[in-house]
Structure 1
């Protein structure tokens, strides 16, 4: 199935329902990383223990993500970290489930939204002036946040098939070189090419993943520049 996985078509279907989103993540993992297998998720008892400790019920999408692929750190925690069930915590009205790798930001779910079928997510930057810190909107649903998380972490794993390029906006627009993908993640644009997945972050850098070393070399030739690993 890895050779017929249609990334764009899969992303267009993700917002239909959670089952479709989880299938997309399974297909994505099989195509770009390794297939999700039994044992890649946490046990229900671990999630139940987290709920007892926190005194709340985890949103269904978060439970399902933990049960399906929560232990797959190659999909969830290469740069920023999906917190384990025993690391979840509540602060300033939100359940925190993800942390930036240097503590610069946290992602959460507003406590007032926990009872929703698929609550939205929020982000809180870590600022020098703590009085200015606020929870700000992130993804409109937790399921979509999980899709963005898996895609983003997959282009950030250091395994010889990823690379990084700072850009200044003077090069040829990626829209003319690669297929534009449906948007997931604030300040992110996604593109796909022949065996490559590209994340453009706020117009200042490209983070790319390839299926083969040859595909990564071809990307560097198509988009010349001072690639970090090239």
Structure 2
């Protein structure tokens, strides 16, 4: 197995800590932004006044983890909204059934993510997903990740891996040999399988390339550099869309 260190930022160790503790999750986000993107998190969060205004408009108090996520990341679309969209504070809403506070939308409207109103009193509540179905009676809020801070780790990783520009690529329909090599040679990242009710997404690190395996149907790749991304195309041979 290859070494999983990325210079002074240890992605694996930092992610492991963040997956267990919400404050460590924000430390991971800061480290990832500094070492894997062009812009550290010196700015980009929402002011506390905007959070307070959203709470007053909604008539409810945001959980601490969601408040912290917005004050850290609320203005950083490059880390939150490349593919799916993190709603602005002014666009947060309670769903039609009065069940959940919605804060994120799938890019084609196929799903939305939220926190059940009954869980808003928790410091770091579960995040659920609701698919947009033709049969509205069949829709329900389904498990996604067990804590809000975990969900924002997922958002940052997934949106970085699906950026419109930069060292990103997509491997379509990897064969069994590619998947076996991924499991053998890359480092499995310490992040839980998800969604909660149908776990299928796994994260890996190969040298300086972040890899998301979507149940063997796709592999998303984000290199820390273009050279690192070139290297993974040789290791995992297949139909890379950009390569």
- TM-score surpassing 0.5? yes
Please report how far the alpha carbon of residue 168 of structure 1 lies from its aligned counterpart in structure 2 after TM superposition: 4.6
Please give the TM-score of this superposition, normalised by the length of structure 1. 0.95
Number of equivalenced pairs: 229
Equivalents in 2 of 1:223, 1:175: separation in Å?
A: 11
Residue by residue over 1:12-52, the C-alpha shift from the partner in whole angstroms, topping out at 9 and shown as x without a partner, is 111442221110110011111121013x1111111111111
Q: Does residue 74 of structure 2 align to residue 70 of structure 1?
A: yes
Considering Cα pairs closer than 8 Å and 6+ residues apart, tell me whether 1 or 2 has the greater RCO. 2
The alignment status of 1:35 with 2:48, answered yes or no, reads: no
**1:25 counterpart residue number:** 29
Q: State TM-score, norm by structure 2.
A: 0.90
The 5 A counterparts of 1:130-209 are: 130-172=136-178, 173=180, 174-184=182-192, 185-186=194-195, 187-209=200-222
Hey, what does 2:241 align to over in structure 1?
228
| Counterpart in the other structure of 1:122 | 128
Matched residues in 1 for 2:113 and 2:90: separation?
16
Deviations 1:81-139 (A, max 9, x none): 11010010101300001000000000000000000111111000001111100000111
Residue segments in structure 1 that go unaligned for 5+ positions in a row: none
| Gap runs ≥5 in structure 2 | none
Question: For 1:13, what is the secondary structure of its paired residue?
Answer: helix
